[in-house]
Chains A and B, each alone.
Chain A
Amino acid sequence: MRVLVIAGRELKALFLSPIAYVVLALYFGIMGLIWWLITSQTFPAEYRLFAHEMHVFILFFIPAISMRAIADERRTRTLELLVTQPVRDWEIVLGKWLACVGLLALMLVGTMQFWGLMHLWTEGALDDLPVLTAYLGLLLAGMLYVAIGVFCSAITENQLIAALVTFTIIIGLYFVRILGASGTGFWQDVFQQVSTTYHFDEFARGVLDTGHVVYFLLGTFVFLFMSVRTLESRSWG
C-alpha cells in the first residue's frame, strides 16, 4: 500500500519533470522510424527483429527514467523526511522501482500498435506467441535494468552520474556475450550466462524457459537488495 503511494508520487513527478513525456515521445518516434525501415526492406517483417530493436533502445531510455529516483531526493534532502516516515526502506526502493517499471510498461504498450498493424497486413497469419514472449522478455529485461538504475541512483546524489553508471552497466551486460564468443569452454559459458542478450534471445524466439525468467528476476532482486542496503547505511545523510 505504502509502496503504491510512493510509486504514485514518483510517477507523477516523472510526468511533471517532464522526463516521462520526452522519453515516451522519443521512444515512439524512434520505434516508428525503425518499424518503417524494417518493413520497407522485408515485408511482411518478422516481429522478432523489431523486438530486438525495442530492446536496444530501452537501454538508452532507462537511465533517463531511473536516474532521479533516489539521487534527486538525496540532492534535495527530501529523502531524510521520507525515510523518517513510518515506512520501511524496502518499501521506498520498491515504490521507486515500480514507478519506473510503470513508465517502461507504457513505452512497451505503446509499441503494440505495430503488432496490430502487422496483424492487419498479414491478415491474421501472424504467430502471436513469439510476440507475447518477446514482450514478456522486454518487460523482464526492463525490470532488471530499472533495478540497476535505482541502485545507481541510490549511490550518488548526482543524476547525471547515476544515468551514466546505469548506462555503462546495462550496455556492458548487453555486450558481454561478445567476449564469450572469442573464448571457449568455461569463460564462454560464464559470459553467456551473464549477458542479457543471451537470455532475451530465447524470449524473442518464442521460447519460454523458467531458467531465463529466473535470471532476470534474480538479477532484479540482487540490485534492489543492494539499493535497500545502500539506503539503510545512511552514509548519504
Chain B
Amino acid sequence: MIEVENLTKRYGDFEAVRDVSFGVEKGEILGFLGPNGAGKTTTLRILTCFMGPTSGRASIAGFDVVEDSMQVRSRIGYLPEQVPLYREMTPRGLLHYYGRLRGMNKADRLAKIEQVAAEVAIDDVLDKAIGKLSKGYRQRVGLAQAILHDPEVLILDEPTVGLDPRQIAETRSVIKDLAGDHTVILSTHILPEVSMVCERVAIINRGQIVAVDSPQELIASMAQHERTYVRIRGESDPTGTLTGIEGVTAVGPDREASGEGRAFIIESDAGADPRPRIASAIVQGGFDLLELRPLAMSLEEIFVELTTEEEKEEVETQ
C-alpha cells in the first residue's frame, strides 16, 4: 500500500533523511520510531505530499507522491505533529470544512460526521470552539478530520504526544480499531506505544532506517547475548564463581532487586542455553540457588542499542 524507495531529503547542506526505504502492507499498522530529530516528520511530510523529496521515490496505493499528488492526497488522512486546528471553529464546522474541500456532498458529510464523531467520542463537544477543548479532545478532533473521508491510508505524526495516560490509552485503542480498514503509519518516540499498537516497527535514527521488523522479531534478532537473572543465598561473594562459568561474558549485581539473598544479571554468548551450567556452578560453589530465569531483551534496550551504536560509528569515522 505504501512504498518508499531510497528517499533522501536535504535542507540546504543538511541531510534530514538519507536513503530511506520501507513498505507497508494493506491493513497494517507501522510504527515509525526514532529519537527527536531523526527525520520522522520529514519522511511523513513527503508521504503526505507536503513537500517533495530531494531524491528517491514514494508511492501510496500505486500513485507517486510527486507525479500523482492529487490522487495520493485524496487517499490519505493526515494528522500533523501538534494537531494544528482552527481554534475559532467548532469541531462540526471544521469537519464540514475539510469534507467540502474533499468534495463530499452535504448528505455525505452529515452522515460521516455523525459516524466519526461517535468513533472517536467527540459527540458531546461537536459545537464547542476548538480553542476551548482539552488537548485530548483536540487530538481526537484531529483524528476525526483524518478519517472523515474514509481514507485508505492514515498518517499520524506523534498522535499521543502531550496527553495524559488515560487519553493516551483511549487514543491508542481508537487507532487500533482503525487498522484493518485503513493502513496506518504512526510516528512516535515512545517505545511501549509501538509494541502496544503496531504490528511492525521501522526504527529511524539520524535520517536512516536502522531496522524494520515486527517488535517480536526485532527482539529475537537483536538479542546478541542472552541474559539470565539469578538469586543466590550464601556466605561469601559468588561473583567469582559466576564469572568463571564457560560462555559468561559479564556479571553484574541487580541493584533494583530486593528480598532474600543477592540478585545478579549474567550475560552470556548468544545461542547456547547457559542455564544448566549456571545452576550447577552455583550449587557446586556451595551456594543456595533461590531463583533462575532468562531475561528477554526489551524493545527499549534494542532501541537504545540501535540508536547509540550508530552514534559510536559516527564518532569513529569522524
Q: Do A78 and B86 touch (CB < 8 A)?
A: yes
A76: chain B residues at CB < 8 Å are 84, 86-87
Known contacts A84-B78, A85-B102, A86-B74: does B88 contact A5 (CB below 8 Å)? no
Q: Do A86 and B101 touch (CB < 8 A)?
A: yes
Interface size of A by CB at 8 A reads: 20
Q: How distant is A176 from chain B, measured CB to nearest CB, in Å?
A: 37
Residue among A16, A80, A87 making CB contact with B101, cutoff 8 Å: A87
Q: Which of the candidate stretches B48-56, B178-186, B269-277, B285-293 sits at the interface with the other chain?
A: B48-56
Q: In the complex, which residue of chain A has the Cβ closest to the Cβ of B52? A: A234
Q: Do B87 and A6 touch (CB < 8 A)?
A: no
Q: Could you tell me the distance between the alpha carbons of A13 and B98 in the complex, rounded to whole angstroms? A: 15
Q: In the complex, which residue of chain A has the Cβ closest to the Cβ of B88? A: A16
Q: Do A2 and B101 touch (CB < 8 A)?
A: yes
Q: Do A77 and B84 touch (CB < 8 A)?
A: yes
A234: chain B residues at CB < 8 Å are 50-51
Count, A-B residue pairs, CB within 8 A: 58
Q: In the complex, which residue of chain B has the Cβ closest to the Cβ of A9? A: B97
B190: chain A residues at CB < 8 Å are none
Q: Do B101 and A81 touch (CB < 8 A)?
A: no
Residue among B73, B82, B88, B103 making CB contact with A84, cutoff 8 Å: B73
Q: Do A81 and B80 touch (CB < 8 A)?
A: yes
B102: chain A residues at CB < 8 Å are 85-86
Q: Do B101 and A84 touch (CB < 8 A)?
A: no
Q: Could you tell me the distance between the alpha carbons of A17 and B87 in the complex, rounded to whole angstroms? A: 11
Q: Do B78 and A5 touch (CB < 8 A)?
A: no
Render B88-99 as a binary contact track against A, CB cut-off 8 A, 1 for contact. Answer: 110000000110
Q: Do B73 and A77 touch (CB < 8 A)?
A: no
A124 near B: Cβ within 8 Å?
no
Render B58-86 as a binary contact track against A, CB cut-off 8 A, 1 for contact. Answer: 00000000000010011010101010111
Q: Do B50 and A84 touch (CB < 8 A)?
A: yes
Q: Which of A9, A16, A78, A86 has the most CB of B within 10 A?
A: A86
- Interface residues in chain A, defined as those with a beta carbon under 8 Å from any beta carbon in chain B: 2, 5-6, 9, 13, 16-17, 76-81, 83-87, 234, 237
